[in-house]
Structure 1
């Protein structure tokens, strides 16, 4: 009768290099631990340096934007101020131009003549340019002042008489006018004096005439005196002039 050899001889197992003669079932093989999870490559780890750079760039961009806004506002203010300044300059220039034109217009219509000792005959001759003498818009010709524009004028004349012998001669001082459209002459102002020396040997007497007149274009004004030899022709003592109002 045949016998089972496996039963006759016990089974031998080698575990960790040593023999185990146990007849029990071999232990279950060890279970390998689960492998670590594979990282998701789609989600990259956060880069702190990159975040800092992004924040810094944003801050710098905002600062640049604020600076550009400030520069723009400043340029707008400067442009506005320049425009206002240009308008003020234009107004001031126009005002000064009108004032200067008005002053020139007034200055043109005036004349002041001073005494001229080189007298030849009446009416009196005058100095029109030297010293304090001048003519602006009024012509001096043939010993008289010629009006070139109709208007209201103030006319004046001053004559200083003086002598070394007292006499009863009448001193006269006359301002008169002529016009080519009217024959003859017309007296504007006159001064006559007697008893001016009262027995004194050396004497002096001033005669001043001044008044407002409506004069026409081409009127010519002159000065007459009773005796040229008695007139002191110093420019501060004997003069003749007018100005337009």
Structure 2
């Protein structure tokens, strides 16, 4: 119990709205349990009064605690830490599966790159062995040669070789395109000349054998020229002139050979002209005309 001291004339109920220190009960709840202590008779007649002393014997109901009469507010629950978001088992499993998948993909990529590098090295080694067995021909040059050979097999090379034709009528010279050594491949023989059907580099050649039984020392002329429908006139490609080729009345012979590389266009036609048809020997091995594309 705890002693309560009040001022004279004050009633215990005046303090019923206050709460005793150390107890959880309010005075208004326990006023009826406060019993005043009587003073001796000698002191009741005094002019002054002592302050009354009251004894407070706890709560009215001894079976229930004071806290049940006026419950004290419990402490608030702790605030959860929101910085750490709880993860369930499904999220952890998904994260682990993703990490494992990435590791497996990385491993497979490394294996693939290693296999590709090994295959590339084996290929280079095979090329080096092959080049060593073929007299050290570089692989690039060998590949180019193979491509050229395949192109030649697929498409015949553009070339022509014409031989002399004794049945001459007029200039320019007429030629034999198919008999003997003569042939045409990708080149057309028309109007006493060779017609180009594809622009490119061509090697053109012509050989004429002049011969006679009388020496007149006239100028011998051998010309190769070209024509084109888009050009107003012909254009000389090669020319040879001979003088003083014989003496006295003896039989004589004079060979004239022309050959050079030209860039010819489509529809160009090449012809051969001489100063005098009667002085030309038209044997196929002595007088001929031809070209081939590079």
Q: Does TM, normalized by the shorter one, top 0.5?
A: yes
What SS class does the counterpart of residue 189 from structure 1 fall into? strand
Q: CA offset at residue 105 of structure 1?
A: 6.2
What SS class does the counterpart of residue 184 from structure 1 fall into? coil
Question: What is the rounded CA distance, in whole Å, between the counterparts of 1:105 and 1:156 in structure 2?
Answer: 26
Question: What is the rounded CA distance, in whole Å, between the counterparts of 1:99 and 1:150 in structure 2?
Answer: 18
Which of residues 200, 210, 217 in structure 2 aligns to 1:161?
Answer: 210
Paired residue for 2:194? 145
Gaps of 5+ in 2: 1-143
Alignment of 1:92-241 (within 5 A): 101-104=150-153, 107-241=156-290
Q: Structure 1 pair 197/152, CA: closer, same or farther in 2 (3 Å)?
A: same
Tell which has more relative contact order, 1 or 2 (C-alpha 8 A, sep 6+).
1
Q: Structure 1 pair 96/173, CA: closer, same or farther in 2 (3 Å)?
A: closer
Paired residue for 2:25? none
Which structure has greater strand proportion? 1
Deviations 1:140-161 (A, max 9, x none): 0010000000000000000000
Question: What is the rounded CA distance, in whole Å, between the counterparts of 1:143 and 1:154 in structure 2?
Answer: 19
Cα-Cα RMSD: 2.1
Q: Is the 8 Å Cα contact of residues 106 and 244 (structure 1) preserved in structure 2?
A: no
Q: CA offset at residue 213 of structure 1?
A: 0.2
Q: Structure 1 pair 96/155, CA: closer, same or farther in 2 (3 Å)?
A: closer
Q: Highest Rg: 1 or 2? A: 2
Gaps of 5+ in 1: 1-94
Instruction: Return the TM-score normalized by structure 1.
Output: 0.59
Question: What is the rounded CA distance, in whole Å, between the counterparts of 1:105 and 1:227 in structure 2?
Answer: 43
Instruction: Return the TM-score normalized by structure 2.
Output: 0.49
What SS class does the counterpart of residue 201 from structure 1 fall into? coil
Alignment of 1:55-66 (within 5 A): none
How many residues are matched? 152
